[in-house]
Structure 1
């Protein structure tokens, strides 16, 4: 396949399989699309998650597809993709940071830690609650995609500790490539999207109607359209 390749980075507890619809759309348009599993997730379950390890995983995948790509991340993957773009600018032709427009402030992270630890103490470690939320919030096809790689229910302590140390706004200010800040209309993580946008040297904001936190799963066609438009801009 010709054109600029695309590397896709998943959200917390999920895996590369959540990107099935986008991989299919990109490949139909003639682009190589590779969805990566982060440490502790999918095929890398059992590994400890660290931000450095996650960034290295993205960097290695970009190297595998030719050394330069449109890098797309959602939620946890968005924070990782922003850090990667700041650290490895030569690898990033464009950055799509989705559903991650809230700084991981100490008070916010602490609240999530308490919630995650409470859920983790359930007899099934939260598996039933996780599946209930998937069934209630996602269409059947999207639920099947996000669940196909299994759920990493034991990564939250590591993820929250590491993301709590990240500085996405400062990192965005260092990103040289064009940036797309993409959020679902009803995403609870879009509270600081204007701050994130102002930090970008070359940024634009896209809000997908009808989408919540997992915008690529709620609005797969609209999200894929954003990626194809980004590829047009960066010369893909």
Structure 2
């Protein structure tokens, strides 16, 4: 069975942030699902709760797992939620995790400062959209520049979502992750602050730092990020086939998908 990819977006944005990845996977015949978390994208009329966010991830993962091994991919808040989900006390049906732009513990002074900054942006005319547009125009390629905004920005959900992240116990969750794990950060990502701690908590994880990229690494360097996905899918597929061969040693091996 083919590897299934489930994408979890970051705060304020929506499933549309993954358009370049979804298009690339579709061109290569790889099944993928990009969810909208509560209070974001097509669900903007809902309230954000940690329980519902994790339930949304679980529902998408379990549906995908019926068709093949699941690679869970999250960015920023979506990465933190994916790590918490992957490291739950009951191991979920996933075969690998790519966690982008999220190697920071969401608590304490850093989280308070982030919330203050978000509130300040929301207090600006047009909620600071003009400033966001200028930053994106200066940093992102034309092809991906509109992806973060295409599903709308969840301005009203931002503070509730940020505050809820403090309840995540990542220091307990990370050591429980037994599947292959890749941390992917832009060189200039502000959330690299606990990068070394995350590596210590999950010694088998691989760290990939993308040169000259910022927090928006998925859209800033989409070709590089897609190459990481290609690597992750190849590893997940090989491990899945190895387990299947051990379980059924006499079964003839089916040709492996060409992820390269």
TM-score (norm 1): 0.93
- Provide the C-alpha distance between the structure 1 equivalents of 2:196 and 2:71, rounded to a whole number of angstroms: 22
Residue 144 of structure 1 aligns to a residue in which SS? Answer: coil
Residue 124 of structure 1 aligns to a residue in which SS? Answer: helix
Q: Which has the higher mean CA deviation after the structures are superposed, 13-22 or 25-34?
A: 25-34
Deviations 1:2-30 (A, max 9, x none): 51100011111111111111112222333
The number of residues matched between the two structures is 235
Q: Which has the higher mean CA deviation after the structures are superposed, 224-233 or 132-141?
A: 132-141
Residue 48 of structure 1 aligns to a residue in which SS? Answer: coil
- Please report how far the alpha carbon of residue 128 of structure 1 lies from its aligned counterpart in structure 2 after TM superposition: 2.6
- Provide the C-alpha distance between the structure 1 equivalents of 2:217 and 2:182, rounded to a whole number of angstroms: 14
- Provide the C-alpha distance between the structure 2 equivalents of 1:96 and 1:66, rounded to a whole number of angstroms: 16
State the match for 2:156 in structure 1.
154
**Which of 223, 231, 234 is the aligned partner of 2:233?**
231
State the match for 2:255 in structure 1.
none
- Please report how far the alpha carbon of residue 108 of structure 1 lies from its aligned counterpart in structure 2 after TM superposition: 0.7
Coordinate RMSD, CA, aligned = 1.6
State the match for 1:20 in structure 2.
19
Shift in CA distance, 224/32, structure 1 to aligned 2, threshold 3 Å: same
State the match for 1:182 in structure 2.
184
- Please report how far the alpha carbon of residue 204 of structure 1 lies from its aligned counterpart in structure 2 after TM superposition: 0.7
Whichever of the two has the greater Rg, that structure is 2
Deviations 1:161-218 (A, max 9, x none): 1112222232111112111011011111112212101111521111112211011111
Residue pair 1:175, 1:201 contacting (<8 A) in 2 also: no
Deviations 1:138-169 (A, max 9, x none): 22221122221111111121111111222223
TM-score (norm 2): 0.85
State the match for 1:141 in structure 2.
143
Residue 130 in 1 paired to residue 132 in 2?
A: yes
Give structure 2 stretches of 5+ with no counterpart: 239-260
Give structure 1 stretches of 5+ with no counterpart: none
State the match for 1:117 in structure 2.
119
Residue 91 of structure 1 aligns to a residue in which SS? Answer: coil
